[in-house]
A and B are shown apart, each in its own frame.
Chain A
Amino acid sequence: MSFAIFFILAILAVGAAVMVITTKSPVSSALYLVLVMCSLAGLFVLLGALFLAALQIIVYAGAIMVLFLFVIMLLNLRRDEFGHDSHLIQKYLGFVLVVVILVQGIVIVGWAMKDYSATSSLAPIEGTPVDYNSAHWVARTLFTKYAYPFEVTSVLLLAAMIGAVVIARKKRLPDIENEEG
């Protein structure tokens, strides 16, 4: 049963991912990416990370992709009309590298790990009477063991926010404007 769910979600994710790259319209790319996120959220649920599945939908699909779409709309990007790129080395080497990474990931890592089975938290394990509650445990660990990284990320977000505002600001140059006017 979980196999079936897994395969459906997997096919969906991969298919949508390929469409992200290949489709011509940027908006379509963004929407396909949202689809990828959602299938991934499903896979998270399958793995028992309920809290993170929720987080994935809310943060990634809900905030980040929306931001992407805002920017695409703002820049008013049309369908991709670019010509053929002339860098042959980029084309061929790029292809080769992608294949290599794929192979590395699948063959070496995946093959070694094939005997480990990822369990769902929905089925209790012998010897551990407690029910695994992902949100509970994540919260506990996050606020005790990883309290420092947590605080640091808040600073990071602040910095990113300020940075984004500063970079994207329309520059006002009062002197020049006055001179020209």
Chain B
Amino acid sequence: MENQSVAQIQSLIKLVPLFPLFGFLLNGLFNKRMPERFAGWLASLCVFISFVLSLWAFFLLKGLPVEARSVQAIWFDWIITGPFSASFSFLYDPLSAVMMLVVTGVGFLIHVYSIGYMHRDGGVSRYFSYLNLFTFSMLALVMANNLLLLYLGWEGVGLCSYLLIGFWFHKKSAADAGKKAFIVNRIGDFGFALGIMLLFWTLAGAGHPTINLVEISRLAPEILGGTGVVTVITLLLFLGATGKSAQIPLYVWLPDAMEGPTPVSALIHAATMVTAGVYMVSRLSALYVLAPISMAVVAIIGATTALYAASIGTVQNDIKRVLAYSTISQLGYMFLACGVGAFASGIFHLMTHAFFKALLFMGAGSVMHALAGELDMRKMGGVKKYMPATFMTMLIGTLAISGVPLLSGFFSKDEILFKAFTSPQGSPILWIAGILAAILTAFYMFRLIFMTFFGRSRMDPEVEHHAHESPRVMTVPLMILAFLAIIGGYIGLPEALGGGNWFEHFLAPVFAGEHTAAREMAPVPHSMEYLLLISSILAAAIGILVAYSFYIANPERPKRLAERFSDLYNTVLNKYYIDEFYNAIVVQPIIIVALFFWKITDVRGIDAAANGLANLIGWFSNKFRFVQTGLVRNYALLFVIGVVVLMGFVLLR
């Protein structure tokens, strides 16, 4: 019975990435001839089939006994050389099951939404082919059973991110944003690659040349435990994670990435790609728990980023920028969780965040769609009477992200804060940072809702005249996601509130066998847990009330405060001038070096050499052609000269 399930799982998971790949090929190859509606529905169907297959596999996995919940299946052999071999093969265990469901499920909803959003765009089938390619790469990433395939997926999603951010490539700002995303990611990827290589080298040196994830988790304690190299490896890997998941210092690409179509922002920069870093750290938790320093670094960066990004989000006026900084902030929470050893909580928040953040982005897209592309919240207001469905769903999303009780965000965020406080690797300082960020989160999210949907209309009259609710193909996914945002948290209901925290137990075997400190800690009294719970609720309440007072009760207050603290306000508004800083420190020197290589080395050096050689030969030929006088006698003369020389040689020997 068990073997049969395992075999079934193996076949299923091999099929899952195939459908998006197939969709990519079809949409990509038949780009010109693909009718618009067909492209969208085809792509969505492929992802839907993947979702169904993932769901089926999930149920089969649940049916297996806990120890057996790790299935590997091989698609084809890829590289086989000597001691090193890598194949396109997949690992299916609770963690990848969760990730696959999130990627395909939320991905499907976003595909459907895109059909409406990208209507009449002109590059629709190209868009859907990229989306499918992205889905394929992301699935490869989360399903990979070895680091090389994971890296392939990693790079693949980076590529698709570039393609999709710069989708409207005629717009310079979009093309630049795409380049920025790719280049900044590359820096992280460099660290990631070095980490993988160092890991492989260390393992090979100890006699186990493998990059199989299961093997690594198994071998890590004995080979790497207590060494310094594991810290270096994990830090390098984390560098890659900061790039992909937009943490300090490599987050700068994410706000610019809002140049892409909004569904892209929803899928890639909220729900899936940016979570790849969190997934990677969790997957390699066996390595991280052996390097407490790295864990501390991860936690600190996570908390700092959460607070920092939230602060920037409070003053942005572009609706998508607010959400972008919110994403960075929430990712910080996930890394905070991983850093204190609560990997399951990090993944839990990843899942709930996927629900409500995708919802929020798609809602924002819906608003933009209705208001003819308007992004500036200062030019919105009172939209709720035109778009009731969008309003309701966005409100639900906002409540969820703010950590209002009974919605999913509350459970996941609270869990992280709890673990941050109580875990042996946590600390109260981290908890305070988390709480502050929570206050700010609630504040800026409600600011967004109030500015957009409530109050007097500040809309352009022309725009207001055409404002309308979005078509069903866009609002239905919103509603589904809103539903998930509400109930999604209950699978992680902590024991303190009566639930059995099913989610954490489900994921436990993946992080087990390693001495996750959170596992070993003494059970915390429920009273402490309740206290922390109340603090989270209070934080949310404070944020909401301040937002209300600023934007509903006294709309003048924000402006006056901004004027009073204008320097501080401007600094935060300009994202602490980080882009300018990077530009001066990093970009300009590189440009100077590149210019040098171009003007001097390439033009004057190499081109001159190549052209010079050609010119030399030309000059020489020009001089030499006079040998051909056309006179037979001269040729005979040359003959005889040759004969004489030869005779001379022979006779002189």
Contacts and interface: CB of A to CB of B under 8 A. Distances in A.
Interface of A: 87, 90, 93-94, 97, 100-101, 104, 108-109
Nearest to A98: B640
A94 B637 contact: yes
Contacts of A90: 633-634, 637
A104 B633 contact: no
Interface residues of B, number: 11
B237 to A, nearest CB: 79
B644 A104 contact: yes
B639 to A, nearest CB: 10
Contacts of A94: 637
Nearest to B644: A100
Given A90-B633, A101-B644, 10 more contacts: A87-B631, A87-B633, A90-B637, A97-B644, A100-B644, A101-B640, A101-B643, A101-B647, A104-B644, A104-B647
Given A87-B631, A104-B644, A97 B651 contact: no
A87 B641 contact: no
Contacts of A108: 651
B648 interface: yes
B34 to A, nearest CB: 61
Nearest to A108: B651
Interface string B629-653: 0010110010011011001100100
Nearest to B645: A100
A109 B652 CA distance: 11
B651 to A, nearest CB: 5
Contacts of A104: 644, 647-648, 651
Nearest to B641: A97
- 9 nearest CB pairs, A to B: A108-B651, A97-B640, A104-B647, A100-B644, A90-B633, A97-B644, A90-B637, A101-B644, A93-B637
A108 B633 CA distance: 28
Contacts of B637: 90, 93-94, 97
Contacts of A93: 637, 641
Nearest to A104: B647
Contacts of B640: 97, 101
A94 B631 CA distance: 14
B398 to A, nearest CB: 96
B439 to A, nearest CB: 102
A168 B640 CA distance: 29
B287 to A, nearest CB: 81
A37 to B, nearest CB: 23
A2 B251 CA distance: 111
Contacts of A100: 644
A109 B650 CA distance: 11
21 contacts: A87-B631, A87-B633, A87-B634, A90-B633, A90-B634, A93-B637, A93-B641, A94-B637, A97-B637, A97-B640, A97-B641, A97-B644, A100-B644, A101-B640, A101-B643, A101-B644, A104-B647, A104-B648, A104-B651, A108-B651, A109-B651
B641 to A, nearest CB: 7
B636 to A, nearest CB: 9
A102 to B, nearest CB: 11
Nearest to A93: B637
Interface in B600-653: 631, 633-634, 637, 640-641, 643-644, 647-648, 651
Contacts of A97: 637, 640-641, 644
Nearest to B648: A104
Nearest to A94: B637
Contacts of B641: 93, 97
A100 B637 CA distance: 13
Nearest to A100: B644
A1 B4 CA distance: 117
A84 to B, nearest CB: 14
Contacts of B633: 87, 90
A109 B651 CA distance: 8
A104 B640 CA distance: 13
A36 B641 CA distance: 26
Contacts of B651: 104, 108-109
A37 B476 CA distance: 114
Contacts of A87: 631, 633-634
A36 B595 CA distance: 81
Contacts of B644: 97, 100-101, 104
A97 B631 CA distance: 18
Contacts of B648: 104
Contacts of B643: 101
A97 B633 CA distance: 14
A93 B641 CA distance: 9
A149 B4 CA distance: 83
Contacts of B634: 87, 90
B13 to A, nearest CB: 76
A93 to B, nearest CB: 6
B62 to A, nearest CB: 90
A93 B647 CA distance: 17
A131 B643 CA distance: 40
B626 to A, nearest CB: 13
A118 B640 CA distance: 30
Nearest to B639: A97
Contacts of A101: 640, 643-644, 647
A110 to B, nearest CB: 12
Interface in B68-104: none
A101 B651 CA distance: 12
A14 to B, nearest CB: 20
B377 to A, nearest CB: 90
A123 B633 CA distance: 47
A90 B631 CA distance: 11
A101 B640 CA distance: 9
A43 B634 CA distance: 34
A100 B640 CA distance: 10
Contacts of B631: 87
A94 B641 CA distance: 9
Interface string B381-395: 000000000000000
B642 to A, nearest CB: 11
A151 B647 CA distance: 32
B640 to A, nearest CB: 5
A96 to B, nearest CB: 9
Nearest to B643: A101
B8 to A, nearest CB: 79
A97 B634 CA distance: 13
Contacts of A109: 651
A68 to B, nearest CB: 19
A106 to B, nearest CB: 12
Interface string B116-133: 000000000000000000
Nearest to B640: A97
A101 B637 CA distance: 13
A94 B637 CA distance: 7
